[in-house]
Amino acid sequence: MAGALTEEFNPAPLVAPTRLTPRASFLKGRHFLSVNDLSTEEIEQLFDLTREIKLGKAQNVASGKCAALLFEKPSLRTKLSFSVGMSRLGGQALYFAKEEVGLGHRESVKDAARVLSRMVDVIIIRTFDHRNIVELAHYASVPVINALTDLEHPCQALADFYTILEYRSETRGQKLVYIGDGCNTAISLMLLAPRLGTHFTLACPPGYEPPAPLIAQARELAAWHSTTFEISHDPVAASNDADILYTDVWTSMGQEDEKAKRLADFAGFQIGAKTLREAKEDALILHCLPAHYGEEITEDAVDSPQSGIFDQAENRLHVQQALLAAVL
């Protein structure tokens, strides 16, 4: 991990290495910016720790420690889960809204990283531009955790796969169909899925795919781990024989000006009667919330016995507690 460096910062390419060498130690002192930062073995270790924490076996590992939450985007689940998680580990979390820091405007990313590193033990950031979090980690001497950027939502993806594991007892061989655009959540899921032996299909309208380099990486990962990766423009056909159906809002934060166009382009890209008829009879329904009923998902689907959506939301707390315990 880099400390307070003095050389000019040049951001590295946004696509991380496809294969990682397992580390001898676990995650202590490590940044978590992308699902690419963890090997399969480390993910499994993290899930084992999550299970212990959820059973109430968490120790006071954060006693006397403090987390800084830098949030440039509004949040319910992310702010709540990290704040409660840090408290339950015996530490505390301090929340900073966009106006309080002005990252990259009122204060440079480099200076914010160096100041925070002298006063807190971990930095949790929710921002727009992924380059901000890469730069923050470059200059920080404490762990930096990605709580969402426009490129990835890795904590969400970990909680999603932990939820799948709880419901299915196995992630290997499962078919996950994501219905929506190639957003940050979809990117983290498609890069994590092959590492856990899960087949992944993205069903999106033409023109809403993830960036081409990330598609190439997902294909390479799938080939390496003997899983499948597909992109479909037909949500009903893509849902055939799905073990898990997953969706997210059609219009994410920062895309409000595109809402009318997206409502038209995504018509039919919904978890509802048509897609559920094609999926397996006991297909698990997931959504990272907030949900817009009647758009990407029907209210009946959210409330159905097949829905794991609110367990999925709760698991953000347990997985992130495990992540905090591992890096501190």
User: Of these residues, 248, 306, 318, 321, which one is catalytic?
Assistant: 248
DSSP single-letter state for residue 143: -
Of the chain, the end-to-end C-alpha distance in Å amounts to: 13
Helix crossing, 309-327 with 154-168: angle to 10°?
120
User: Of these residues, 30, 316, 318, 320, which one is catalytic?
Assistant: 316
User: Of these residues, 31, 153, 199, 262, which one is catalytic?
Assistant: 153
Active site (annotated) includes residue 183: no
Active site (annotated) includes residue 248: yes
Active site (annotated) includes residue 318: no
User: Of these residues, 156, 217, 270, 306, which one is catalytic?
Assistant: 156
Dump strand ranges (E) for 72-157: 92-97, 122-126, 144-146
Active site (annotated) includes residue 48: no
277-299 exposure pattern, b = at least 16 Cβ within 10 A, e = fewer: ebbbeebbbbbbbebeeebbbbe
Distance CA 326, CA 199 (A): 28
Distance CA 296, CA 218 (A): 24
User: Of these residues, 155, 183, 204, 288, which one is catalytic?
Assistant: 288
Active site (annotated) includes residue 288: yes
Distance CA 297, CA 118 (A): 45
Active site residues: 126, 153, 156, 248, 288, 316
